[in-house]
Amino acid sequence: MQIDPNRKVDVYFNLHKKTWSVRQGGKVVGHTDQISIKNAQYIVSKKGNERVRREKKKNVHAYVRGYVETLPYIMADDIKLVSYNPYKNNSFVVRNTDDSICSSPWACCEVINKKPLVEAIWY
């Protein structure tokens, strides 16, 4: 992947390829099964969410935004699993509580058994 580390990326789960797509400057610059994002923001387009609900067809409108950086070895103070269901939620939420989440110091996005896993990490 050709990523400028000084510019933010948008990372979203690609439903067709069953992997993470990495977009920078409006263009997909690569795909990966694991990526760490520093200063993560959890973004959902309201209009995109409304379109999914109206058409009953998914589109790219939710992503994790931040800087690609290798997650340092840290003892995390808190790790929360994060998910987004466009038919149920208007934002990313913490799994098991459905509390809305907007940001975290780190996000780790992985693919496990062809399914997305997002961990919000505080340290």
* Tens digit of each residue's pLDDT (9 = 90 or more) over 79-118: 999 999 999 999 999 999 999 999 999 999 999 999 999 9
Q: Residues, the chain, total?
A: 123
Residue 16, both tokens: 């067709």
pLDDT at position 105 is: 95
Phi and psi, residue 17, nearest 5°: -90, -10
Give 70: exposed, middle or buried? Use CB within 10 Å, 0-12, 13-18, 19+.
exposed
Q: Are 80 and 105 contacting, i.e. CB atoms less than 8 angstroms apart? A: no
